[in-house]
Amino acid sequence: MLPEAPVLRPSLPILFALGAAGAGTLALDSASRAQAQSRNPLTAERETGPAPSWRNASWLNADHPLTLEELRGRVVLLNFWVFTCYNCTNTVPSLVDFDRKYRDQGLTLIGIHTPEFPPYAGEHDKGNVERALRQYGIEYPNAQDNDSRTWNLYGIRFWPSFVLIDRRGNIRYQGAGEFHLNDGNYRLWERRIQELLAE
Amino acid sequence: MRRTLVAALAAGALALGCRSDLPPSDALRLDTAPAGGDTRLTLIAPPGFKLNARVKPALELSEGTVLRFDSPYLTPDSAYFTRPPTALLAGSARRVRGTLRASICQPDELVCRSVTQEI
């Protein structure tokens, strides 16, 4: 039995902003970036609260199904993705870099692989996901979310999306959208990771 | 008052719109044309969106058949269609019923979203 999803449904203003949001923060200068980030739903700090517990049964790069409870004391970055999403795979090098730099300092990166299409498209197939992990050099754990349960639990709407959870199991940051090594949003997420690791 | 109602309806549509987040006017479009004795279906993306070619759009027909749309015209990275993908439906069909499914991306948002649309 899954717990109820807490405080994560986007508010109506956020839904409106999603419809109106355009170019995002990628090309903003630093002076306007902070202000824009508070408005842009793809990078904005969202509502916070206890992270809901996922219960995915099928995992790759993990010797047992990971739970949120056992990760208490670590910072957790969830990446909702699917291997057919170009924006998602473009972001993988940055995530691999985060994993390499911060795993030993207390970061656990977890891919939540959520298909877009029904099974006929091949996104549900564990072998295909495994091949994608090898192709992109992903060594961090990945959960198959074939029924979109964790996606729905966290109120996710876009590929790729990110949820950053602190050592106490609280959601601190959420966002969506492709980023690249050392670009503005990479640095934004890195600062957030560093902030939570320092707590 | 009326504006509020319209806004509430729009918000409701956005909230309940599966994962499409698109108002109806920006929905996928399906064109049909005769092709010999068959029917060529052409899928048109909403304005401003690209169709993801890594997971080919699908038409799930009411009787259970799934047609996949494809096109040889792709971006250099093979990620998106540069011309509308097509599918061939056996026989002559004036009207097609089923569920259209596509992954679409808006370039400046750098995210993908899924559209599911009954036709």
Q: What is the pLDDT of residues A76-125, one digit of tens each?
A: 999 999 999 999 999 999 999 999 999 999 999 999 999 999 999 999 99
Lowest mean pLDDT among A146-155, A169-178, A184-193, B11-20: B11-20
Residue A172 tokens, joined: 């601190």
Fold of B20-118: Immunoglobulin-like (2.60.40)
Which chain A residues are closer than 8 Å to B109 by Cβ?
21-22, 24, 42, 177
Provide the residue type at B37 as one letter: G
CB contact (8 A) between residue A116 and residue B103: yes
A64 touching chain B per CB within 8 A: no
- Exposed (0-12), middle (13-18) or buried (19+): which is B60, by Cβ within 10 Å? middle
Residues A164 and A192 sit within 8 Å (Cβ to Cβ): yes
Q: 3-class secondary structure for B14-70?
A: HHHCCCCCCCHHHCCEEEEEEECCEEEEEEECCCCCEEECCCCCEEEECCCCEEECE
User: What span, in angstroms and rounded, lies between the C-alpha atoms of A129 and A143?
Assistant: 10
Given a cut of 90, whether residue B96 has pLDDT beyond it is no
Instruction: Name the residue in chain B with its Cα closest to that of A23.
Output: B108
| CA pair distance A122, A138, nearest whole angstrom | 19
Q: What is the pTM of this model?
A: 0.78
pLDDT of A4: 26
Mutation for testing the B interface, residue in A85, A161, A189 having most B CBs under 10 Å = A85
Look up the ipTM and state it: 0.75
- Shortest alpha-carbon distance between residue B111 and chain A (Å): 5
Whether pLDDT at B7 is above 50: no
- Residue A27 scores a pLDDT above 70: no
Q: What is the pLDDT, as a whole number, of residue A168?
A: 96
CB pair distance less than 8 Å for B111 and A159: yes
Q: How far apart are CA A174 and CA A165, in angstroms?
A: 9
Task: Write down the pLDDT at residue B61.
Answer: 94
